[in-house]
Structure 1
């Protein structure tokens, strides 16, 4: 379901410069300077309404978080959550993640989260999947040598595709979990989608992958 159009979104985002990066490319190579202190830098691609990124920021004050979301009518909800929480370790970007190398320099990130990404199920849309090889090349550039990709999804087909894509690209799979919530991981922070699907008894898949040194 698409989020309802919010005519006030532009003005609101422009007002929240403490948390919203209006010109993210200008911070390429110097993202740490945008935070109160220098510490590991994690990126969430597809922030949605912000439940995950605010939960992670609260749970991990020792980590700096950046979340990117293309839908303006959606990211305003994330910004509202961040403003209410008022953390000093979160920045938000309203932009497309198709060329992350324009926003981040080499070896700038420690971890990337792919949470409930659009599965793009049709074969002709394969290149749009965030675990397609062209995206993996970008992640390899902007992640540190020991950087990690964490994928969560309810879509079995996307999960299987991603495992194959990771393996073919040469990534090391450190975790492959077929039922995350039976794992009872106390560190897991749920997204809005995850909460919804889990309440219906749907399996949630998670994997952790890293590029070899």
Structure 2
């Protein structure tokens, strides 16, 4: 999705106390950046405008959360949405960090020592053309990188049928066990769902939301 350049985004991010300007420098030390380093650590890959992360920081007050996106324009909007959420709840922004990062190189920013308890991938680009599929956030080359630091679950949502079905194939091939799946999330009765902007838009268009939970198999 294209987004217009926002001149305010970069300076606002640089002045934001929960923005991480050099995420690679924190590799292996993400937990230490939070006031409660012993709390679970959740990571959202491709946070977009912040619809999910701005809900999650309040839904999970005893969890530390990190949100990444490749565009500073998107991250700037997410930053504003987070600030609004914390202000409305009258809570300090202590359990979140945000950063600009190319997720294709996620291993450069996260190490096994970071012990991420949960990864969220919400409505990522489906990259339908065969030559572009390797850019998917659920492509095997990405899933293998996540395994290095993911100690818990991967939660994945999409409206795209092909992406979902092919991800169901990617996961076991990469050593993940699928523990939950549904091709109609809103009719499934699954309770722990935070609806994003894209999710509402796709639902209004009559599209069914696909969802799964997977975790790396114990290889010991």
Question: TM-score when scaled to structure 2?
Answer: 0.91
2:96 corresponds to which of 85, 90, 94: 90
Matched with 1:58 is 58
SS of alignment partner, residue 51 of structure 1 = coil
1:21 aligns with 2:20: yes
Are residues 1:99 and 2:105 paired?
yes
CA RMSD of aligned residues (A): 1.2
Q: Secondary structure at the match of 1:98?
A: helix
Cross-structure match for 2:9: 9
Deviations 1:7-44 (A, max 9, x none): 1221111111x111001111111111211102111110
2:204 aligns with 199
**C-alpha contact 1:107 1:143 (8 A) present in aligned 2:** no
Query: Which secondary structure state, in structure 2, belongs to the residue aligned with residue 164 of structure 1?
Result: helix
* Structure 2: gaps of 5 or more residues: 87-91
Name the TM-score, length of structure 1 as normaliser. Answer: 0.94
Of 157-166 and 131-140, the range deviating more from structure 2 = 131-140
Of 123, 126, 134, 2:130 maps to 123
Q: Does 1:112 align with 2:126?
A: no
Task: Tell whether 2:142 aligns with 1:135.
Answer: yes
Residue equivalent to 1:46: 46
Runs of 4+ with >3 A deviation:
none
1:32 paired residue number: 31
